[in-house]
Amino acid sequence: MALSFFANTFAGNALDRRSDLRVLPDRLAELRAAPACRVLAFWNGQPLVDGRGEGLRLPALPADLGWRAANPDEALFLGLDGEAPVWAIELTGEADPSAGPLEGRGRFMDLRLAGGQLSPEDAGVAATAKALFEWRRKHRFCSACGQPSEPADAGWKRICPSCKTEHFPRTDPVTIMLPTFRDQCLLGRQAVWPKGRFSTLAGFLEPGESIEAGCAREVKEEAGLEVVSVRYHSSQPWPFPTNLMIGLIAEVSGQDARPDQTELEEVRWFRKDQLLALLRGDAGWSDIEGMGVPPPFAIAHQLMKAWAES
């Protein structure tokens, strides 16, 4: 029976990752040469996409084209789609490859823009590859001795040839929470956001901190409220660059909220009917010009929706 859970955008990677194959060089060579092999392309952190509007997809390059465009030894083995091996390559350089060697295959697009238009499966695969490429780009040197490290395990590890330290891809946990008090919830806004944008609160977990404690600290620091209970909703891989958003509903002890003026410039309480209208894109009732909340592909939207519909 399949694992059942609420899957946010970027959480839909359905490939069989087959981590056992990553350590078998002969099998990897076979998987690169397989007729059914598919190669997904990235350029400077952006996936190659094809299609228009709601119907974007990740076009698979035939293996021979993929291996001409990038060094196969630096390719990332993402897993199997049925019998088909799926790989990702990252192209670099100033010149857009979709106007060069990959002409006619699609266009490169920021994953923040493409994410909500890809299928859940493609968005998840793109998020996996992007997070790994981001990690690789920023971890070229051994953090123990400073020597250049080398790729291993089909892109899932790096090894220092000097001190033999193994380095693994990192995921940075972020708690993202909707504070609630009885039938109202609190949203905040950061000064750097688009005009009128309100959203949930969020912050990185710190070492030695549980998810619950991190959530309570963020709500206290940013809004001056005491969290009395924390309920998990869902999580979202967020490959900008390598985060995991942990979505929570946080009940607080009162409504005397004060924005910290560092992260948040304003906080406001909303009733469920007001929040539902905002989620539909209807801000006509509000006194704030251009008021809005994040789009459905953001876990913040899903947290608000789940609470408002409960």
Enumerate binding residues for Zn ion (CB under 5 A): 142, 144-145, 147, 160, 162-163, 165
CA 45/CA 270 separation, integer angstroms: 37
Cβ nearer to Zn ion, comparing 113 with 144: 144
Q: Which is nearer to Zn ion, 128 or 149 (CB)?
A: 149
Q: How far apart are CA 121 and CA 75, in angstroms?
A: 20
Nearer to Zn ion, 165 or 184 (CB): 165
State the nearest-atom distance from the C-beta of 162 to Zn ion, in Å.
5
Specify the residue, 146 or 254, whose C-beta has the smaller distance to Zn ion.
146
Nearer to Zn ion, 141 or 307 (CB): 141
Query: Minimum CB separation from Zn ion for residue 78, in Å?
Result: 27
Q: How far is the CB of 152 from Zn ion (least distance, A)?
A: 13
Whole-angstrom distance, CA of residue 166 vs CA of residue 13: 26
Shortest distance, position 160 Cβ to Zn ion, whole Å? 3
Given its phi and psi angles, is residue 43 left (phi above 0), alpha (psi -120 to 50 degrees) or beta?
A: beta
- DSSP class per residue in 40-93: EEEETTEEEEBSSGGG-B-PPEEHHHHHHHS-GGG-EEEEEETTEEEEEEEE-S
Phi, psi torsion values for 245, nearest 5 degrees: -85, 125
Which tokens is 135 given?
């990690």
CB of 167 to Zn ion, least distance (A): 9
Tokens for 117? 């238009």
In the complex, least distance from residue 165 CB atom to Zn ion, rounded to whole angstroms: 5
| CB contact at 8 A, 164 and 174 | no
Return the biggest CA–CA distance within the chain. Answer: 65
Neighbours of 150 (CB within 10 A): 13
Find where tokens 């969290």 sit.
Answer: 227
Nearer to Zn ion, 23 or 144 (CB): 144
Measured distance CA(217)–CA(40) in Å, rounded: 40
